[in-house]
Structure 1
Amino acid sequence: MMVYLNGQFLAAAEATISALDRGFLYGDGLFETVRVSRGRAFLAAEHLKRLRSGAAFLGIEPIPTDAELAMVWTELIRLNGVEEGVLRVTVSRGPGPRGYSPRGAGPATLLVTVHPLAVERGARPCWRVVTSTKVRGTGPRILCRFKTCNRLPQVLARAEAEAAGADEALILDERGCVVEGSSANVFWVMDGVLWSPGPEQGALDGVTRRWVMGHCRSRGWAVREGTAPVEEVRRAEGMFLTLSTLGVVEVREWDGRSLPVWPGVAELQGAFERALAEV
């Protein structure tokens, strides 16, 4: 496996990061996970926009231009021979003095990796989910607009799901309202209206989530951003998750209870697949 690290294409085993890198020590960095379809990055502009916005917010620099990053991952995809896969772009503040203060740190560390897709193209998995009992919220809402490198709440929630034999864990906020999955945004249907928590409710501002919301609105479907107590959401007419790697994933079971099948999920999955084919 070849990777790109700070200006060089290297075998993964040869790529080394400073022991003083703040991304490793504190999670002081950002990343983007991008779907690769037919050897090309899907929704690349939206991912880069979020990455650049996060870097500006955190004061991480320098960051290569969008064109430079695109050249890097295009070559990396070619070197690894990946047609259908997942691209990850990671940026940290770089090495710095000991302590939380970012003063004197840098330059930024840039790591780009690409991985084969875990499922076959066109597969439409149905997931079983559980409610996390260990994690409440995933951190300050001011950071929900970005994917930061500190993902410990998500790691704990996913481990809890796997221990329960489930595919994903739903995370609630401190009030007991549904926020998101450990690796996905969540949608549910109530009285014919699609609901999905966003950054104001403590959920990641997901790129695929925004794509799905835009598609739904173009179809004239009612879509609202918000959340609700878990007891209310359990009465939903259907539920699905959105994530960059798989697109739209239907939830068939939640905490051991079967959920209704909402017909719109199949249409969204088809639309996502068509969009991938047009990259």
Structure 2
Amino acid sequence: MEHSPAKDLSDLSGFSLFETLRVQEGKAWWADEHFKRLRDSVKFFSLPELAGVAWQEQLQKVPRSGDWVVRLTYRAFGGRWQNCPVTFRLDVLFQRFSPAPNPLRCTWGAYRLAQNDFLRGHKSGSRMVWDLMLHQAKQLGFDDIWICDRADSILETAVGNLFLFTDRWYTPPLELGLLPGILRQKVLGTGAVETLNVPANAKIRAAVRGNSVAGLTPIQTIGDCQLNLELARDWIREVSRQVKLPLSG
């Protein structure tokens, strides 16, 4: 989908793109890949160019010691409600890393999403449906959700990509409208997983959630279905021999 350069940004008041990454003892995991993904989204939406120096300046604000989750947000300020021109600025927030539950208990997302939505391929602040579904699931005692589209294709979780074992390990293809996960791409490079459109009614024997903050986490249940934890953990060990992952905390 082509976009012409934006001349009037007044309608973008409040719009934001973001990246979330892990910084351990001053090491920012896959920082170059995160910057490229954010910069590609900025270009896709014809926003003012994001400079690498701004990215580095914000990362340098994170303490050099400790284990941190860092969110860098490229957001719009101003607009017609503030009676001033829209400008974009990169900001940083960080907090101490807190390990995710392990293993995870997941349930199905309450809503089906539109098919092949290209906007899902970008980390934007427009994630109300994801956040609402995850909030509802956590109120019921679950850790994460599996999100499907209206064709019942499995897409991802609220906070990561999915790796699913049926007869072998698969991950849903980006063409379904998925975020190109940084860790997902690293895992694909090992040959330990293939891409496949896995329907929600498939016989899934094991599953793993992956993101570049928490790494790879085995999933114990999806809804009332018990999954094979040993199979998931064996696969994580196999991948970990080929991809260096952040420490679990």
What's the TM-score once normalised by structure 2's chain length? 0.84
User: Aligned partners of 2:43, 2:91: CA distance in 1, in Å?
Assistant: 18
User: Aligned partners of 2:164, 2:175: CA distance in 1, in Å?
Assistant: 17
SS in structure 2 at match of 1:230: coil
Match in the other structure for 2:149: 173
Change (3 A) 1:86 1:23: farther
Q: Among residues 106, 129, 146, which one is paired with 1:153 in the alignment?
A: 129
Identity %: 23
Q: Is the 8 A contact 2:72 2:93 kept in 1?
A: yes
Aligned amino acid, residue 62 of structure 2: I
**2:112 matches 1:136:** yes
Match in the other structure for 1:14: none
Q: Is the 8 A contact 2:13 2:79 kept in 1?
A: no
How far is 1:276 from its partner? 3.6
Change (3 A) 1:269 1:258: farther
**2:249 matches 1:242:** no
Structure 2 residues not aligned, in runs of 5+: 1-9
Q: Is the 8 A contact 1:22 1:92 kept in 2?
A: no
Change (3 A) 1:268 1:138: farther
**2:239 matches 1:268:** yes
Aligned amino acid, residue 94 of structure 2: V
What's the TM-score once normalised by structure 1's chain length? 0.76
User: Aligned partners of 1:115, 1:139: CA distance in 2, in Å?
Assistant: 34
Change (3 A) 1:228 1:190: same
Match in the other structure for 2:38: 51
User: Aligned partners of 2:194, 2:143: CA distance in 1, in Å?
Assistant: 26
Aligned amino acid, residue 72 of structure 1: Q
1:50-199 correspondence to structure 2 within 5 Å: 50-65=37-52, 67-74=53-60, 76-78=61-63, 82-98=65-81, 105-119=85-99, 125-133=102-110, 135-137=111-113, 141-192=117-168, 194-199=169-174
User: Aligned partners of 2:68, 2:114: CA distance in 1, in Å?
Assistant: 27
- Please identify which structure carries the higher helix content: 1
Q: Deviations over 1:230-262 (max 9, x none)?
A: 111xx2231001112201010011102210131
User: Aligned partners of 1:68, 1:90: CA distance in 2, in Å?
Assistant: 11
User: Aligned partners of 1:257, 1:269: CA distance in 2, in Å?
Assistant: 26
Change (3 A) 1:210 1:60: same
How many residues are matched? 234
Change (3 A) 1:42 1:190: same
How far is 1:229 from its partner? 1.7
Q: Is the 8 A contact 2:16 2:124 kept in 1?
A: yes
Q: Is the 8 A contact 1:180 1:203 kept in 2?
A: yes
Aligned amino acid, residue 248 of structure 1: L
Change (3 A) 1:46 1:200: same
Change (3 A) 1:139 1:155: farther
User: Aligned partners of 1:172, 1:191: CA distance in 2, in Å?
Assistant: 20
Give the superposed CA RMSD: 2.5
Structure 1 residues not aligned, in runs of 5+: 1-19, 99-103
